[in-house]
Amino acid sequence: MGNFIQHLSERVSVIASDRLWLEDSAIQQLKTTAQLTHMVSVVGLPDLHPGRGYPVGAAFLSQDHFYPALVGNDIGCGMSLYQTDLAINKVKLDKLDKQLGNLDEPVDEDEWQQLLSLDPELAAKKQAVADGLLAAGLDLLQMRSLGTIGGGNHFAELQITDRVDDATCYDAANLHAKRVQLLVHSGSRGLGQFILRQHVDAHSHAGLASESEAAADYLRKHDAALAYAALNRAMIAARILRRLRCNGELVLDVHHNLVRPVKADGKSLWLHRKGASPSDQGLVMLPGSRGDYSYLLQPKAENGTASLYSLAHGAGRKWQRTDCKDRLFKLATPDQLSRTEFGSRVICADRALIYEEAPQAYKNLDSVLDCLLGADLVTVIARSKPLLTYKTRGSAADAVSTNHRKYRPGRVLPGCCQGLAVI
């Protein structure tokens, strides 16, 4: 494993190499987080970058207390991968672009019925999410955002397999190199933000004692948000599959932001992930920027202790969002950024966002992958490249956001939650 696992102190490690871009501020945030009361260990992953007070691309282990602020405001953010039956040789970008239409708008009743005809199990899943929200004291108004991607680095991307490294594992996952795959990256939308805001208003950034009522209350909301995020990704995928008139089979679905109880050395601990894939739940995707390759990985769970059973969840930002347009606007127009070196297309009508999400703003993905391979944490199953990336058609995504000040438990909006049994 060479020197890819670097110990900065007794409680702080990073998975890194001399080739990897790491900001000093991210390392400092990692060290500061390690000083929190009850913190046992922190690990920075190769996509580590500074966040709002706490680092992104990291895992944290604590005892007796856990920290909702480490999970952040997008509880359950993660990725799902689908294998479609859409043949690559029949794909035309202009047609795909037109078929996708606008995914920013919320799912109305007509579209919901069409989604149910494609996947009848969505009804039971949606009911379970609604039940979880109500049990946690959360507003069903949140359901309105289900099936929408959101802003920032969230996306839905059609991909094609570029290279297969492990044909046995690739075939076992029912993947097909001559058919398009769909990768969805999204989370709990405004729900996670609302839950974090409630916590910070009541407890600031302090941790919660494991056996406290405040901890139990947060975990009910946290778990409801995890279920919401998973359903959100499933509904995004269903919308896309229906519009493209194709079928899809789920290959994987993982969360990147969460906290969960774990056992280690006979101790009851809390594992936090902030921008990190699990290494103990099967296959994961390591996506690049929209102008880079992505990799399907098989984690080596037997070597997971050094990384707190966590892996990089992407390339990781290299530039701050506020710097991107100033760095790039003289070099590329939004229209130019909507085309990549792969010949793929990026749907992003938000002129600021297309600069913020430019490939140049992210680390080189191979440098991240090299660290995971060097630390013997993964093997590569396949490499894929983008075909069409959907970000936003405009500002409609903002209109979907819930107005949390209008909090009325049990409220149901027409056109978004019909069929739900609400008492």
Provide the b/e sequence for 28-67 (b: ≥16 CB within 10 Å): ebbbebbebebbbbbbbbbbbbbbeebbbbbbbbbebbbb
CA torsion, points 388, 390, 393, 395, in degrees to nearest 10?
A: -160
DSSP 192-211: HHHHHHHHHHHHTT--EETT
Beta bridge partners of 388: 158, 345
Name the packing angle between helices 190-203 and 213-243 (round to 10°): 170
115 CB-near residues (< 8 Å, 6+ apart)? 107, 122, 147, 235, 238, 239, 242
Cross-strand partners of 222: none
3-state secondary structure of 406: coil
Q: What is the DSSP string of 38-63?
A: TEEEEEEEEEEE--SSS-EEEEEEEE
- Residues making up the chain, counted from first to last: 423
Catalytic residue of the set 154, 185, 255, 313:
313
Catalytic residue list contains 313:
yes
Q: Give Cα separations from 117 to 114, 129, 243, 358 (angstroms).
A: 5, 20, 13, 37
Helix residue ranges, H only, 150-246: 167-172, 190-203, 213-243
| Residues that are catalytic | 313
